[in-house]
Amino acid sequence: MNRLDGKVAFLSGAARGIGGATAKRMVEAGAKVVIGDVLDEVGARHAQSIGATYVHLDVTQEASWAAAMDATIKAHGKLDVLVNNAGIFVGKGVEDASLDDWHRLVAVNLTGVLLGTRAALPHLKKTKGNIVNLASIAGLVGSQLDPLYSLTKGGVTLFTKSAALEFARKGYRVRVNSIHPGVIQTDMGDQTFVSRARNLATNDVDAVRDIARKTHPIGRLGVPEDIAKGILYLASDDSAFMTGAGLVVDGGLTAQ
Ligand code: NAD
């Protein structure tokens, strides 16, 4: 189950966090893995430690995607899986976020996904490969912490379905699915605790983390490996009948 033997996978934003854990799982599942990130030192170190390759990638730049895809094809000859994982969170309300904050969110969370999809598509058409997009529970239900983040992740949710339909109509046999994590303990997860604390006018981030934990019926916060396992399933042939779908991995949060 969930094997990627002989497959080549590219993951954006995988120097750390969910992408970092997924890259590791994919190597263990038999894939050749390439990581692209802006955190060059951290990314190169992580890639070396798990047996992956690192390339510099700024997902907001078309030329950067072209170079990353060229490097992947040069190293491994093909591409089977793209994970559009890079994402940012600003943690500010509608009245507090600046226009620059919004433009940054759009550039990474939306333009990054579009550019990645376009850059990888010619290669995925050849291998009948697939794309996994990191959306969020904030792309399914509202987020009182960061409505602008939610606006971008809602876009990722519906772009996933639309791209899946377009590629199916054109006969490409390229599947596109999304994954929707609850609160996961990563650097971004920590950012959500800090904004929650600010909203509650407290400095007690541990107490706030406990409040966040209690919103997850399963009784704990998520860890990157929880999401990595879901991404691996979507990327593998075990999910061959899934396209345009969203896999919710949120400890029951949105079941309420
Ligand atoms: P993280 O902050 O730990 O990692 C994000 C990675 O993206 C970092 O390595 C960062 O350098 C990279 N990145 C940022 N801007 C980039 C750019 N312009 N080009 C290339 N790389 C860039 O976050 P994470 O928690 O691992 O999040 C991974 C994905 O999961 C994101 O899309 C996020 O929105 C989504 N997500 C996270 C949570 C959570 O609670 N942590 C919940 C739902 C969804």
Amino acid occupying residue 34: V
Residue nearest atom 44 of ligand 1, based on CA coordinates: 136
Could you tell me how far CA 100 lies from the centroid of its own chain? 22
For residue 15, which atom of ligand 1 is closest to its CA?
A: 9
Q: How far does the centroid of ligand 1 lie from the alpha carbon of residue 96, in Å?
A: 22
Q: HSE, CB side, 13 Å, CA atoms: give it for residue 46.
A: 27
Q: Does domain 8-250 have CATH number 3.20.20.80?
A: no
Pairwise CA distance, residues 32 & 51, whole Å: 8
Q: State yes or no: is 54 an active-site residue.
A: no
User: What are the sequence ranges of the domains in the chain?
Assistant: 8-250
- Which whole-number Å values give the CA distances from 92 to 105, 186, 189, 199, in the listed order? 12, 18, 14, 9
| Catalytic residue selected from 54, 149, 172, 233 | 149
Residue nearest atom 35 of ligand 1, based on CA coordinates: 134
pLDDT at 46 (0 to 100): 98
- Secondary structure of residue 85 in the 3-state scheme: coil
Query: Considering only CA atoms, which of 131, 140, 135 is closest in space to residue 110?
Result: 135
pLDDT tens figures, 119-140 = 999 999 999 999 999 999 999 9
Q: How far does the centroid of ligand 1 lie from the alpha carbon of residue 88, in Å?
A: 5
Query: For a substitution probing ligand 1, which of 12, 16, 18, 249 has the most ligand atoms within 8 Å of its CB?
Result: 18
Q: List, chain by chain if needed, residues with CB within 6 Å of any ligand 1 atom.
A: 12-13, 15-19, 37-39, 57-60, 85-88, 108, 134, 136, 181, 183-184, 186-189
pLDDT at 1 (0 to 100): 87
Residue nearest atom 30 of ligand 1, based on CA coordinates: 134
pLDDT beneath 70: ranges in the chain = none
For residue 19, which atom of ligand 1 is closest to its CA?
A: 26
